[in-house]
Structure 1
Amino acid sequence: MSSDSGLTRKKLSKTLKPHWVWAIALGSSIGWGSFVLPADWMQGAGPLAVILGLSIGAVLMAIIAISYGVLIRNYPVSGGEFAYTFLGLNRVHAYISGWFLTLGYICIVALNATAFALMLKFVFPDFIQNMKMYSIAEWDVYFTEVIVVTILVAFFTYLNIKGSGLSGRMQFIFVMILVVGVFGLTGLMTTNVDASFSNMTPSFDPDVSPLAAVLAMVAIAPFAYVGFDNVPQAAEEFKFSARKSLGLIMMALLFAAIIYSLMIMTTALGAPWQETSNAGLQWGTGTVVEDVLGTGGLIILVIALSMGIFTGLNGFLISASRVLFAMARGKVLPDVFSRLHSKHNTPYFAIIFAALVAIIAPWFGREVLGWIVNMSSVGVAIAYFYTCFTAYKLLKWNKDGAEFDETLHIVSPGKKFIAMLGMVSSIGFLVLLLYPGSPAALGAESFWALLIWIILGLLFYLIRRKDLNSYDREDLAYLILGKDKFKLTDKED
C-alpha cells in the first residue's frame, strides 16, 4: 500500500551473497547435533536406521523446500513462514506461525551456545565445572558455564549488529572449516587399523523393529534439518536473484544429509556402536575419536564441532531477529522490535532481545532446555505446513477460471502436487511427535512446555489484538509483503 494510508515500510540492506546464504542454510541445519548426538541417536535404533531415517528426512525436507522456493522467489521478504502464512491465510495464523518460530529459533541459539560449554566440559572439565550453583532435573548448573555461554552469545550479537554481510562472510568461513574437518575425520577413521566396519553391526537395534527405528529418526527431521528455512528469513537481504534460493536450499540439504551420515559412520567405526551408545558417556563421539585417533583426532573434532556451534548460533540469531523484525513491521509485535541501527541498518533491538532470551537458558540447565527444544519441533512442523499450504494456494493446476490472476498465481501442476505432499509430510511429522503411541512422541515435560507456550501466546495475542486489528488487510500486506496491491484473497478467512 501506502502512500494512501501514510504507512512507512522499513527495509533491510541487500548484502548477502549466494555462497553465504548456502552457508547459513547448511551451517544452521547441522549445527552441533551432527557432532554431539550420534551415539544418542544410535541407542535404540542402530547406525543404519539413523542414516536411513535422516536420509528419508532430508528427502521430505526437500519436498517441503520446493514450496519455500516458490514463495521466496515471489515474496523475498524477511519473516519467512510468518509472511507466507499471512499471504495464504490471515493475521491470526501468521501470529501463530511467528510465535512458534520465534521460540524455536531462540531456543536453538541457546542450545548451540550451551553445546559449546558442554564441549569444554568434556575437553577441560576442571575449567568448566567450577562455581556450582544448583541442580535442575539432575543437571548441575555451573556459573562458569553461564559465563562462557554469555560471552559466546555476546560475540555473535555484536557480529550480527555490525551487519548481515559480516555475519554471512564469517558463516561461510566457519562452514568450510567444518566440511573439511568432517571429511578429514571420516577419512582418518576409515583408514585407521583400530577402526572397523564390523563395529557397525548389527545395523539395527535387535530389540526394536527396523521400521520403528527408522520412523523415530524420520520424526526428528524437523529438528535435524531446521535451518534450511533460515534462507527465507534472510531473503530480503539477498544481493542476488531470489530465483537461486531453491538451488541453494537443496545443496544445503544434500550436504547436511552427507555430513550427518559421515558423523554416524565416524562414531560407529571406532568401537562397537552398542557399547558406545549404552555406556552413558558424556560425549560418545568425542570418546571414540580420542580413543582411536588420539589427541590429534580430538582436536580436529573439537574444531569442527566449534564451527558447527558457531554456524548454528549465528544462523539462528539471524533468523530469530528477522522474524521478530518482520512481526513488528507487520504490527504483531511492538514497533521497538523493528528499529534499525542508524549506521548498519540491522534490526539491532530484535538481535539483542533474542540474545538476552538465549542467555537465560543456561541458568535452567540443559535438560530443561532440551524439553523446550523438543517441544519447538512441533512449532517448526506447523510452520512447514503453513508454508506448503500457502504454496498450494498460490499455485494453479491450469489457467481455467475467471479469477485467475497471473501476477499472484503460477501455473505449475507439478509443484502444486509437491506442495500437497509437503502438507502431508508436515502433518506426518506432527502425528509422530504428538501421538502418544508414536516411537517419537514428545515426553511429558515437552508437552507441558508446549501447553505453557500456547497459553502465553494466547495471552499476548489478546493484549495485541486491538492494535493489530486496527489495520486493514491491504495495509498489513504492504507492511509484511511489500505489495501495493493484494489480490490473492479479498478478505481474511
Structure 2
Amino acid sequence: MEERKQLERSLKPHWVWAVAFGSAVGWGCFVQPGAWMGQAGPLGAIIGLCIGALFMIVIGLSYGTLVKHFPVSGGEFAYAYASLGRIHAYICGWFLTLGYLSIVALNATALALMVKYLFPSVVKHLLLYTVAGWNVYFIEIVIASLALFVFCILNIRGGGLSGKWQFIFCLILAAGVLFLGISMSISPDTSFHNIKPIFKPGTSAISGILAMVAIAPWAYVGFDSIPQVAEEFNFSSNKALKLIILSLVAAGLVYSLMIFVTAMSAPWQSLSTSIWGTGDGVDEVLGHVGMFVLAVALCMGIFTGINGFIVSTSRLMFAMGRARILPQAFAKLHAKYKTPYAGIIFTCSICLLAPWFGRNALNWIVNMSSTGVTIAYFYCCLDAYKFFRWSKQSKGDRLIAPVKKAFSLLGILFSMAFLALLVVPGSPAFLNKPAWIALIIWIIIGTIFYIINGKTFRSIPKAEMDYLILGKESQTDNMASLEKTN
C-alpha cells in the first residue's frame, strides 16, 4: 500500500471550538436580523433559531459519536464510506464540498458589502456591470479578493496558526456582541415596546417559526468543522461531542442576542425592510461608537467564517484526494508547514470568482447549498444509526447502544424534516427557481465527474481504501475499537 499522508496534531480544544463556533456565527448574525424579523417577528425569529439549535444538537450527537471512533479528516465523507460504501461517500462529499465553498464565497462578498455600506463613496467607483440587478464595482472585488488571499496564506502557514487566530477573532466577536447587548438594554433611547408585535402580523406564529427553523442547517453549519479537523486534535477525540454542543449553544445565544439588539433599537417593522436593519438601529441609538463596535464584530464574524470554512473545505478535499476520488494533488502536504495546501489554494481560487458574479447571483447558489449540507447531516445520522443495535436480539455485529441509536434515529428524522422544508412545494422555505437550477447543474457536474474518475475510485482494493480513508486496514478493526472503547 502507498503510505497514507497524515495531518499534524496541532489543534488545541479551544481552537477547535473556535473553528466550529466562528464558522456557525458568520456575517448573517449581524446582517440578517432585520430580514428574519420580517419573516417571523422578533420572538418568532428567536424561538425558531433556538429550536433549530436544539435540533442541530440532536444531529450533533451523531457527529460526536462518530468523531470519537473515526478521528480522521473528511468527516461525513469518511463516515458514509464506513457505513454505506464508496458511492454514498462520494455523494455526501460532493454536496458538502459545494456547501463549504459557497459559504467561503458568501463571507468574502459580505466583507465587501459591509465596506460598501459604511463607506459608499470609497467602494462605488469603477462600475463594471450589473448582474441580476446588482451593480458590480471593481473596488468591492478587490476587497473580497484581498481577504481571500490573506486567509489563504494564513491557512497554508499552519493549522495551529489559523486555529489560534480563529480563537482571537471569536473572543473579539463575543466581546462586541456583549457590549451591544448591554448598551442597548440600558440606553434610554431603546424600549421593549419596539419588540411588539412579537410575531409577524398576518402570518401565523407557527409558520414564521418553521421558516426560521428551516434555515438552521445554514445558520449553524460550521459545527461540523470539528469532524473535518479531527485528525489534527492534540487531545482526545472523546471531547469532540462536548465541543460540538458548546459551539451550538454559544451560536444560538449570539443569534438571539443580535435579534434582541436590533428589535430594541426601533420599531422592528421599520427595520425589517432596511438594507441593513441592525446597522440602522445601532447607528440611531449608539451612534459612531456603536457602529464601530458592530463593524468590528461583523468583521470578526466574516473572518471566522472565511477562515473556518477554508479549513473545513481543504480538509474534506484532502480526505477525498487521499481516497483518490479527487486528484491526488489534494492529498499532498506542504513541505514546510504540513498543511493540505492544494485544497486551500483551490478553495480560495474558486471563491475569487464569486465577487465578479454579483451578490444576488451568489445567493442562488448559497440557498441551494443548504440542501447539500442537510444531505450531509442525514448521512451522518444514518451512519451513526447503523453503527449501533437496539438489543442483543437485533441482527448484526454492531455495539448494543439503544440510547445512541435512538438519538441518531431522531437526527435522521430532523434531517429529513429540514430537507422537506427546502424541497417540498408550499413549505415556508421552498427553494426558488434559480436555486433549483443551480442544484441541478451541480448534480450534473458531479455525475460527469464521477463517470470520469469513478473507475479509479472503485478499482482500489477495499483493504487499501479502508486504510486511506479510515486510517485502519479494515472496518472490522474499527468496529473492534468501537466496542473496546465503549
Question: Same fold, TM exceeding 0.5?
Answer: yes
Residue number in structure 2 paired with 1:334: 327
TM-aligned CA deviation for residue 400 of structure 1 = 4.7
Residues 68-113 of structure 1: CA deviation (Å, up to 9, x unaligned): 0000000000000111111110111111111111111011011111
Residue number in structure 2 paired with 1:432: 421
Give yes or no for the alignment of 1:261 onto 2:250.
Answer: no
Give 1:316's match in structure 2, choosing from 309, 317, 339: 309
TM-aligned CA deviation for residue 124 of structure 1 = 0.7
Give 1:275's match in structure 2, choosing from 270, 276, 289: 270
The 3-state SS of whatever aligns with 1:469 is helix
Structure 2 vs 1, CA of residues 198 and 92 (structure 1 numbering), >3 Å: closer, same or farther? same
Give yes or no for the alignment of 1:410 onto 2:399.
Answer: yes
> Any unmatched runs of 5+ in structure 2?
480-486
Residues 221-251 of structure 1: CA deviation (Å, up to 9, x unaligned): 0000000000000000000000001001101
Residue number in structure 1 paired with 2:293: 300
Give yes or no for the alignment of 1:219 onto 2:219.
Answer: no
Residue number in structure 1 paired with 2:469: 480
Residue number in structure 1 paired with 2:278: 285
The 3-state SS of whatever aligns with 2:352 is helix
The 3-state SS of whatever aligns with 1:7 is coil
Structure 2 vs 1, CA of residues 191 and 402 (structure 1 numbering), >3 Å: closer, same or farther? closer
Residues 165-214 of structure 1: CA deviation (Å, up to 9, x unaligned): 00000000000010011011010001111111110100101111111100
Give 2:376's match in structure 1, choosing from 355, 376, 383: 383
**Equivalent residues of 2:69, 2:478 under 8 A apart:** no
Query: How many aligned positions are there?
Result: 479
Residues 276-321 of structure 1: CA deviation (Å, up to 9, x unaligned): 112xx22111111001100000000000000000001100000000
The 3-state SS of whatever aligns with 1:195 is coil
> Any unmatched runs of 5+ in structure 1?
1-5
Give yes or no for the alignment of 1:51 onto 2:51.
Answer: no
- For residues 44 and 220 of structure 1, what CA distance do their matches in structure 2 show? 12
**Amino acid of the residue matched to residue 8 of structure 2?**
S
Give 2:90's match in structure 1, choosing from 86, 90, 95: 95
Q: How does 1:85-484 map to 2 (within 5 A)?
A: 85-278=80-273, 281-400=274-393, 403-404=396-397, 409-484=398-473
- For residues 269 and 236 of structure 1, what CA distance do their matches in structure 2 show? 44
The 3-state SS of whatever aligns with 2:40 is coil
Give yes or no for the alignment of 1:14 onto 2:3.
Answer: no
- For residues 227 and 153 of structure 1, what CA distance do their matches in structure 2 show? 18
- For residues 474 and 348 of structure 2, what CA distance do their matches in structure 1 show? 36
- For residues 393 and 329 of structure 2, what CA distance do their matches in structure 1 show? 45
The 3-state SS of whatever aligns with 1:141 is strand
The 3-state SS of whatever aligns with 2:290 is helix
- For residues 416 and 249 of structure 1, what CA distance do their matches in structure 2 show? 18
Structure 2 vs 1, CA of residues 400 and 488 (structure 1 numbering), >3 Å: closer, same or farther? farther
**Amino acid of the residue matched to residue 30 of structure 2?**
F
- For residues 71 and 391 of structure 2, what CA distance do their matches in structure 1 show? 25
- For residues 135 and 147 of structure 1, what CA distance do their matches in structure 2 show? 17
**Equivalent residues of 1:130, 1:143 under 8 A apart:** yes
- For residues 422 and 304 of structure 1, what CA distance do their matches in structure 2 show? 32
**Equivalent residues of 2:135, 2:358 under 8 A apart:** yes
Question: TM-score scaled to structure 2, two decimals?
Answer: 0.97
The 3-state SS of whatever aligns with 2:136 is strand
Question: TM-score scaled to structure 1, two decimals?
Answer: 0.96
Residues 110-169 of structure 1: CA deviation (Å, up to 9, x unaligned): 111111111101111111111110010100111111111111000000000000000000
- For residues 443 and 402 of structure 1, what CA distance do their matches in structure 2 show? 43
- For residues 433 and 26 of structure 1, what CA distance do their matches in structure 2 show? 24
TM-aligned CA deviation for residue 399 of structure 1 = 4.1
TM-aligned CA deviation for residue 45 of structure 1 = 1.2
- For residues 223 and 174 of structure 1, what CA distance do their matches in structure 2 show? 21
- For residues 459 and 261 of structure 1, what CA distance do their matches in structure 2 show? 42
**Equivalent residues of 1:68, 1:387 under 8 A apart:** yes
**Amino acid of the residue matched to residue 291 of structure 1?**
E
**Equivalent residues of 1:44, 1:207 under 8 A apart:** no
**Amino acid of the residue matched to residue 328 of structure 2?**
D
Structure 2 vs 1, CA of residues 144 and 402 (structure 1 numbering), >3 Å: closer, same or farther? closer
Percent of aligned pairs sharing the same letter: 52
Q: CA RMSD in A?
A: 1.3
Structure 2 vs 1, CA of residues 426 and 103 (structure 1 numbering), >3 Å: closer, same or farther? same
TM-aligned CA deviation for residue 488 of structure 1 = 8.7
Structure 2 vs 1, CA of residues 294 and 489 (structure 1 numbering), >3 Å: closer, same or farther? closer
Give 2:29's match in structure 1, choosing from 19, 30, 34: 34
Residues 314-373 of structure 1: CA deviation (Å, up to 9, x unaligned): 000000001111001011101011111001110101100000011110100111111101
The 3-state SS of whatever aligns with 1:322 is helix
TM-aligned CA deviation for residue 485 of structure 1 = 2.2
The 3-state SS of whatever aligns with 2:426 is coil
TM-aligned CA deviation for residue 7 of structure 1 = 2.2
**Amino acid of the residue matched to residue 325 of structure 2?**
V
**Amino acid of the residue matched to residue 451 of structure 2?**
L
